[in-house]
Every structure is written in structure tokens, then in C-alpha cells.
Chain A
Amino acid sequence: MGDFLLLLTGSINPYYLQIIVNIGIGIILALGLNVITGLTGQLSLGHAAFMSIGAFTSALLTIKLGMPFFANLVLTGFITAGVAALIGLPILRLTGDYLAICTLGFAEIVKVVFLNLDITNKALGLTVPSAITAVPMPIVVWLVVLLTIICVTFIHSSRFGRALMAVRGDEIAAEAMGINVTLYKVQSFAIGAFLAGVGGGLYAHFMGYINPSDFGFLKSVDILSMIVLGGLGSITGSVIGASILSAAPEFLRFMASYRMLVYGGLLVCMMIFRPNGLMGGINFTSLVLRTLGRKPHLKTIMEQKTAETSGPCNGDT
């Protein structure tokens, strides 16, 4: 099995494989933040901090304990989620800008802690050995991506997900409906952090070298741009946004020095023409069903409706 997978990944050009893995890691991080910011409506500017906690935890689990990679990732996720829950309890009582600033501060603390701990090799960073698994890294990353998409989709359409959306809509109204707002917020924070931690663990083992400075404010903003570009709260949007922004620097490479200019220009155009994001306000499932002809098109529904309402009138005359 392992040999077959190795052959499979070996047949793809390593350069494309690199981009594909970058996209995969981007998607995991974006989906995590999407649960916090998109679904629950809590603006977090510290997602990269959870990613760095995950990256260092996972790297240390491999280095110090030699833990198999899958167990390592799960444990990393839970540790990161635990930290997030601890942090979340006090700061999630804040809302909006105040929460954003708090998460920003938290991210800075995490960076400084890692810069000063002996176990993380201070500012010199850690060289991470290869992951302890027979499955090639790209396959692992995309397995995790698929699992993440499935889980997040379930969360979206569950009672829990609807509660989160209620919190996003109006906290007071949600509380009045019997939703424990703080508890739900902390849970969503922990889920988002879990995914960030797993993403960080994958990043650490794929890149082979991590440094606390890699996970700064800019990285958090990168992840935030992915979900804003894709459309806040939309899973498809997060996937598309993460794919575009992770791959864009490479696909725009033919423009040489102009590429980051074009990259920025594309973001600006996007926000002007589709302020809700690429997939904002679009229900992906019904879009697919409609194109397959399994669900009536919006136009036909509208026509039917007008026919129904105008129907009796016509009959009268």
C-alpha cells in the first residue's frame, strides 16, 4: 500500500506536489478560522499563533517521543484546542474589535514565549525530522483535508452549527433562546484551534524547519484573507479562497517583479466586485443540485411563484 502511494506521488512533478500540499495546508487553516470567524462571527487575528503551537508541539512530539504521525497529529490538535479553550474562556467574553485586539496580543505572547524557551531552540528554530509514517506527506495532508471538510460540513448543518450561527446573528437573541453563548464560543474557538494545530503540525513536518517568526501577524492576516476572499461562513468559499491565495504567488510567477502587485490588485478587485467573497451568499449544495437538474432553478421557482400569485387573478378576469 505504502509503495503504491509512494509511486503515485512520485509520478507527479515535485513542484506541483509542493503547491498542492501548500494548498492543502491552507485549506485546513482556512476552514479552522472559518469556524471561528465565519460561522460564529468572532474576529480572530491570532490564528497563526495556534498554528505555531501546533507546529512546535507536533515537532517536539516527533523529536522527543518519536510518536507515530497520525497519533501525533491528533494529540497536537487536542493540545492546541486545550490551550485555545483556556485562552478562550476569559477573552471570548469580549466582542468585535476588543476580541480582535486580545487575540492579537495572545499571538504576540505565543511568539515571544517560543522565542525564549530552550526546548524550542529559541530564535534559532527547530529542524524537524521526517514524519513517522509509511504514507507519503501529500497523501496525509489531503486525507486530513478531506476529513476536515467532512467534519466542518457536519458542524455547519448540525444543531451545534446552527447555535453558532445564532450567536453570530445576535448574541442577546441567542442567549434568550437558551444558548450558552460563552460555552459555544469557547467550543468553536477550540475546534478552530484544533484544525490550526493540525495544520501547523503538517506544515512543520512538510517544511522540515520551523521558526517562531514564521507565524507572525502577517500569517494570521493571510489566513483571514483566504476566508474573506472565499466568503465568510462558506465552506466552499474557504476551500476556494485558500486554494487561490496559496497557489497565486506561484501561478503569477511568470510576471516576475509585478506578481505581488497583481496579487494585491486581484484582492482589491475581488473586494470591490464581490464584497461578500467569492462564494458569499451562495449555497453550494443547491447550486450543484440545480446544475444537475435535481432541484428547480431559481428562475423557475420565481416563475412558478409569480404564476401562483397571478394565477387566481387571471382566473377572475
Chain B
Amino acid sequence: MSFKKSTVLLLSAVLALSVTAGCKKKEGAPADAPKAAADTIKIGFLGALTGDVAMFGKPTLEGMKMAAEELNAAGGVLGKKIEIVEADNRGDKQEGASVTQKLISRDNVIAIVGDPTTGITKVAAPIAQKAQVVLLSAGATGPGVVENGDFIFRNTLLDSVAIPACIDFFANDLKYKKVAIITSDNNDYSVGFSQTFRDAAKGKGITIVADEKIKDGDKDFSGQVTNIKAKKPDVIFFSGYYTEGALIMKEARKQGVKANMFGGDGLFSPEFIKLGGSAVEGSMSALGFSPEQASPETAKFIESFKKKFADQLPGLFDAQGYDGVMMIADAIKRANSADPKVFKAAVAQTKNFKGVSGTITIRDNREPIKSPLCLLAVKDGKFALKAKVPVKMD
């Protein structure tokens, strides 16, 4: 068993590389650590920067960085600079757990904003709770997140809050009576969302005439659409993502179904219109943010976002990431302490916080409530604001 020369070279190169890399870190750490602890407040970003769900992670991080820049330009929080510590988790749960541990124990963050998806938030939440670090998810909408403990929060508009408001709007303003539900049953977001819809529809004068199932990745929906067509619904509620949504609408129009589609932020993507073309004209997506009809706070945010990103408009996740950092900064200021054990109480008392993604109040059960809800509809090949639906704040 003699190693080839080239193998030995390669292996030693890899070893040398990892050793130097390791050393660099070690040299840097002790010198920086005490200094950093003294004059910065570290907030960790948990989310995917690569992989399938990077489309949620990247904008969240952008929003967070913008918030930190603005806070620092205004002199920081409690005289300290805010620093965002980022690490990619590829949308993988095992890596999400490792990253959470790293942020807490190596980088000594006082709070974590993320993960934008419910699954990884559920893995990260017990870790943050145990280490007594505040975790504020900017995107997790599913159940079972804040139940992990008193250090865990989120700032998204929950489906359980948004859907009843939407249904009221449908029943009262649009006079819809019959709804067909389509669920993607291998998608946790979709299954939870549909269940919320079914629960919320009870006693609102809306009947569910069809309850069809599909799978993420399916291409042929003729069977489901045929079933729906026979029931003549006023609107099709689809709780999944844009790819399947667009294909369902194409099939529906082919079969002559007149009803439009309605869904959550899963449908809100330029791809939905690109794939669906004229078939998705009139389809609606309900989400917590729209750059149109902006409040003063939101208008300011949009302006500085445009300056930074070459005239692009910010999206929901940019706004929620921004609000996440701002909410934590606000709580730190109110508590006059950057100790998570102290300012977590201030986060829990957040009331009528004027965020760029809406007005946010944290209720007694630590779940957020947010108003207004934006109902967007596709008009002339673009998502346009159809209505701002107020959500009852209690």
C-alpha cells in the first residue's frame, strides 16, 4: 500500500490549507473577542443563503443588514454598534442546529433573527431557549414555534390571523360563497395552511365544495381540476407554491373553469406569472407586505432600499428581516439592557410597533398580530395591490 506521490501532495495541501485557516481564526479570536464584546451588540442571522430556500434567506439577511446600517448611522443602540453575524444553513435541519449553536456559543450573539422557514425554526428554538438567547423568526408561519419557550418570538403575519380576515373580505366584499381547496400534501406549509383555512371558514357563510390533493413536483392536474369544475366554485384556494399554482390555473383555464386562484405568499413570485401567463390573470395572493400604498415608515424603507439595490423594490422577507432587527433594537432600548434575559420581556411587551411590514403587536401568548394584510392580484401580467385588509388588533 504505497500512496501515489500526487495523492500525498494533494492530502498535504488540503491539510496545510485547513491548518492555516484554523490558525488564522485562532489568532484573530482572542484579540477581537473582548473588544467586540465591549462595543458591539451581535445579532445572528439564521437562514439559507444557498439551496432551495435561499430565496427566503437572502432577502432576510439584506433587510437585517440595512437595519443594522441605519441603527449604526444613528449612533447604535445604547451607544453600541449592531453587528450582524451571518452563516448559511443550506435549508438543512442538522446544519440549522449546528449554525444555531455556533452563533450562540462561538459568536456570542444576544439574539438570532431567523429562520424564515418553520421547520428549521422548530429545531433552532429549543437550542436558543436552553441557551437563553432571544430567537425571533422572520418568516415561520406554522404552529409550534413560540410554544418552545419565553425566549422565542416571531414577527410574521400568522395564517391563523390572516385567513379569517381574508375570508371576511371574501364573504362580505367579494360575495364569494363556494370555495374549492387544493392542498399539496407533501408540503408542510401547505398542509398547515389548508387546515387553518378549513377551521376559519366554519360559520362564515362559505362552503367548501371540493377538497383536492396534489403533490409538490406534480405536473398533471387534469383529474383534480375536472373534479373542481363539476362543483363550480367561486374561488380556488391553493395553499402551495407558485410552480404548481401556475400549472393548476393553466389546466383550469383549458377546461374552462372561470374561478380565480387565491393563495398565500407561496404564490407571490414573478415565476407564477411567467409560468401561468394569461391563465393566472386575476389570481390573488395574500401577504403581509406590499410596496404600494405605503405607510410613512414603509415609504422611507422603500426609498433607502431602492438607493442600495439599484432601484429594486423590497419584498416581504426584506421587510421582515429589517423589522426583526428593529424590534430587537427597540426592545433593548426600552429595557436599557442588551442582556437577553432582561430584554426578552421587552420584546414580549412590543405594542403597536410601527414596522415597515405593518404594525406589530406581540400578544400575551407571544404570538404576533399584524395589520394590515395585503391582498394582491395579478393584473396585466403584474402583481398589483387589490385591497389592504385590516386585521383586528386586540
Contacts and interface: CB of A to CB of B under 8 A. Distances in A.
Interface in B20-69: 21, 25, 49-50
Contacts of A250: 95, 98, 102
Given A256-B88, A257-B50, A266-B14, A14 B144 contact: no
A136 interface: no
Interface string A241-260: 00000000111011011001
A15 interface: yes
Contact-residue bracket for chain B = 35 or more
B131 A14 contact: yes
B35 to A, nearest CB: 21
Interface in B278-322: none
Contacts, number: 90
A312 to B, nearest CB: 29
A214 B101 contact: no
Nearest to B189: A123
Interface string B93-108: 1110110011011100
Contact of B7 (A15, A274, A282): A274
Given A123-B186, A123-B191, A266-B14, A19 B98 contact: yes
A147 interface: no
A125 to B, nearest CB: 6
A207 interface: yes
B192 A14 contact: no
Interface string A115-156: 110000011110100000000000000000000000000000
Contacts of A254: 21, 25
A15 B21 contact: no
Contacts of A15: 98, 101-102, 104-106
Interface residues of A, number: 38
A124 B144 CA distance: 10
A315 to B, nearest CB: 32
Given A22-B94, A207-B123, A251-B18, A13 B188 contact: no
A211 interface: yes
Contact of A125 (B50, B94, B119): B119
B188 A124 contact: yes
Interface in A181-213: 207-209, 211-213
A208 B10 contact: no
Contacts of B105: 13-15
A281 B191 contact: no
B94 A14 contact: no
Nearest to B100: A18
B85 to A, nearest CB: 12
B189 to A, nearest CB: 8
A273 B1 contact: no
A36 to B, nearest CB: 22
Interface of A: 13-15, 17-19, 22, 111-112, 115-116, 122-125, 127, 207-209, 211-214, 249-251, 253-254, 256-257, 260, 266, 269, 273-274, 281-282, 298
19 contacts: A13-B105, A15-B101, A15-B104, A15-B106, A17-B101, A111-B186, A115-B185, A123-B185, A124-B143, A124-B144, A124-B191, A127-B144, A207-B94, A208-B123, A212-B186, A257-B50, A266-B14, A269-B10, A273-B4
